[in-house]
Amino acid sequence: MLSFHLIDRHCCKATLSLTSWLLSPCFSIYQLPAARHWSNVPFLTVPLARAHGKSFAHRSDLRRAKRIVVKLGSAVVTRGDECGLALGRLASIVEQVAMLQNQGREMMIVTSGAVAFGKQRLRHEILLSQSVRQALHSGQNQLKDMSLPVLEARACAAAGQSGLMALYEFNIEILVTNLDFHDEQKRRNLNSTLHELLRMNIVPIINTNDAVVPPPEPNSDLQGVISIKDNDSLAARLAVEMRADLLIALSDVEGLYDSPPGTDDAKLLDTFYPGDQQSITYGTKSRVGIGGMEAKVKAALWALQGGTSVVIANGTHPKVTGHVITDIVEGKKVGTFFSEVKPAGPTVEQQTDMARTAGRALASLLPEQRSEIIYTMADLLTEKREEILSANKKDMEFAVNSGRMPPPLLKRLSLSSSKLNSLAIGLRQIAVSSQDSVGRVVRRTRVANNLELEQITVPIGVLLVAPSRVSHARTSIASGNALLLKGGREAANSNRVLHELAQEALSIHGVRDAIQLVSTREEVEDLCRLEKMIDLIIPRGSSQLVRDIQRAAKGIPVLGHSEGICHVYVDHEASLDKVIKIVRDSKCDYPAACNAMETLLIHRDVLRSPMFDQIIDMLRTENVKVHAGPRFASYLTFSPSEVKSLRTEYGDLECCIEVVDGMLEAVDHIHKYGSSHTDVIVTENEETAEQFLQLVDSACVFWNTSSRFSDGYRFGLGAEVGISTARIHARGPVGLEGLLTTKWVLRGDGHTAADFSEQGSMKYLHENLPVAPSLHGQRTSN
């Protein structure tokens, strides 16, 4: 017998707790009897014809799901301590379903739990009864060990079903015959009823009444307790019958693994394709009797064949339960997604493994070999110039025709012969400077006699750069790091050609796979979840992109800055010629760059001087739009538009002007509104300048020079992978050194820690030794 619990979406919308929501008068239940155990029903072999077409091919398409079935396993419905229903978890699920329903989606829920909940109730009752009897019989408080009888599944369901009904507080009950899914007319009637309920914004909640089903075969792993795999089949059947776009099956496992979860080599499968069943080994079933992963996969593949997309995910993890359903619908990489469309190339997880393996081989090459690879890249840039420019032309035409890319970003996307020449020059420079990078000894210590310690530089591992740039390939090769490049669609053709060029150069020493271009449809946020595979993320793009990556990459370090709010402070003792040159270059040379000036701070004595007039004339000539800070606006009768925020990165020919009383107030303003990127003072007073350089707590602080010098290439780092405003590992323009970490190498002769105890025969020396060039662990002489 089946029961349908109905929830009006408008009741869900205003509900703050599960209890108040469940007790609302709009909640109702319908029961439909079924005679046979679902696992014996033949509908799992031939799916019904689907008028709405095939399932979604990619996760990102799940955002378009209109009708969704959510299946709750017994482990999701019941508490882990087997002391009742998981009310808090259910309340969270209810909120997510209500949220999606309020977005205009049609939601249905299939819930297990009657057998599991009944088992808990009967177990407690039996234990209580036995303990009372034993106490009365013995007259003592000490109780002997009590054994529980094998609990029959139908008895458990009878005990548990009433608890679920009480939870849902039903007020309507409808009984039908046992041929609902075998009689064509009744199927149509049921289908019509459910469609009408969905049209009325009602969420049906369906479960099976296992109190009347035939007994299943005993399950020795669960001491005879039935595993409720029928609800997996029920959810699949319901999804296909109702032509649902998506079936979400929540259990107590993260998804489908390539081997039993918990084993050393088990890997969570992001996507599962029909035909992959032979490569899967299934583990044990759930603690509370859900049908097991094999039953879920069988039901999921049947639903997929019927045109419904499926995701199997964990609905019990406290850190994700509150958003697991909405994350799946948003297309995030949660659980295992079932798809009929298998990509031609490797998955991003496979690409990461390939990159790490090849990256280790790259790091083991001699410095001369890595330099040879970089020189080859420089030569290929020149040889394939026309091919590169042709590909870039296609990208530019697409970007211009789309009309969505602002001029500064179009300029950044555009490649030219001069840009390629500059790239080739940079490649050859870094090929020279990288000779003494990986394996360089930075510290040597004699710990004790015949016990020497070295600290040497090593690559970080696997780097993710988004969006991708060819300049990062040279620094990753020079530093021996593997690289994942996630390019944007706007540069697809350029990235493809440049990636092929990089792999051709890497091939000369057999490390072609060390650089991978992620061409699948994963979002950057999805890649940020690969914390066990990626060691460092280098975001390159808008401040919003960087902030989004920093929020998403909770388990992976992010090297970068979210904003480039750079200041130029013009002191009252500044040179007019220097001020005009520096302000023009800082703002107008490349306004989209992160090191461009965004706020111009003016000493109050400059405000009424000819210098200020010439600054304004220059900005007007350069078509720079000026926004007035609050204090600057107060000095003017007719001021420019007042700035909305003093913490703004314009990224265009715009800037803010604000007035300060002096250098110290300029420093306070920078600390309050800046982003710790690059800040400049223009003055002829050396004492004032030195105080400014000391006080300003930014990654780069300049005196009498443009903010645009904040760049790895201009600093002589050979190339720049980004600018970091962090305070650890690397800060400011990050070049080759910023992509290296260190490891400790200790060489001894049978030494043990016990040798240096109070009773031991050896003493620590800790003598610093001179550092000589030593690459790849080659020991230097004393």
151 contacts: CB under 8 Å, gap ≥ 6: 119, 122, 123, 224, 225
pLDDT confidence bin for 180, thresholds 50/70/90 = low
- Over residues 738-763, the pLDDT tens digits come to 899 999 999 999 999 999 998 999 99
Mean pLDDT, range 357-375, rounded to an integer? 95
Among 293-307, 597-611, 717-731, the minimum mean pLDDT is found in 717-731
pLDDT greater than 50 at residue 173: no
The pLDDT, as a whole number, for residue 5 is 46
Structure tokens of 424?
């080739």
454 phi/psi in degrees, rounded to 5: -125, 140
- 702 burial class (0-12, 13-18, 19+ CB within 10 angstroms)? buried
Cα–Cα distance for residue pair 62/100, rounded to 1 Å: 13
- 301 burial class (0-12, 13-18, 19+ CB within 10 angstroms)? buried
Inter-helix orientation angle 367-383/470-479, to 10°: 160
Among 288-302, 318-332, 384-398, 668-682, the minimum mean pLDDT is found in 288-302
Residue in this structure with the two tokens 């080659």, named with its chain if needed: 778
The pLDDT, as a whole number, for residue 321 is 76
Cα–Cα distance for residue pair 256/308, rounded to 1 Å: 18
Structure tokens of 381?
């840039």
pLDDT greater than 60 at residue 142: no
* Amino acid, res. 223: Q
- 408 burial class (0-12, 13-18, 19+ CB within 10 angstroms)? middle
Structure tokens of 72?
């709750």
781 contacts: CB under 8 Å, gap ≥ 6: 772
pLDDT greater than 80 at residue 690: yes
Structure tokens of 494?
């350029």
Report for 86-95, 570-579, 744-753: range of highest mean pLDDT: 570-579
- Over residues 516-561, the pLDDT tens digits come to 998 776 778 778 888 889 999 988 777 777 888 888 887 899 887 7
Mean pLDDT, range 371-380, rounded to an integer? 95
- Over residues 149-163, the pLDDT tens digits come to 655 555 665 555 555
Name 314's bridge partners: 251
The pLDDT, as a whole number, for residue 197 is 82
709 contacts: CB under 8 Å, gap ≥ 6: 595, 702, 715
pLDDT confidence bin for 24, thresholds 50/70/90 = very low
Structure tokens of 735?
């070049």
The mean pLDDT of the chain is: 80
- Cβ atoms of residues 35 and 208 within 8 Å: no
Cα–Cα distance for residue pair 97/70, rounded to 1 Å: 9
Cα–Cα distance for residue pair 548/556, rounded to 1 Å: 13
The pLDDT, as a whole number, for residue 78 is 77
Among 98-107, 286-295, 348-357, 715-724, the minimum mean pLDDT is found in 286-295
Query: Cα–Cα distances in Å, from 189 out to 186, 204, 396?
Result: 5, 15, 56
Name 703's bridge partners: 681
Q: ∠ at Cα 308 (304, 312), nearest 5°?
A: 70
Cα–Cα distance for residue pair 449/458, rounded to 1 Å: 27
The pLDDT, as a whole number, for residue 283 is 59
Among 186-190, 216-220, 659-663, the minimum mean pLDDT is found in 216-220
| Predicted TM-score (pTM) above 0.75 | no
72 contacts: CB under 8 Å, gap ≥ 6: 93, 109, 110, 111, 112, 113, 250, 315
Name 207's bridge partners: 3
- Cβ atoms of residues 236 and 106 within 8 Å: no
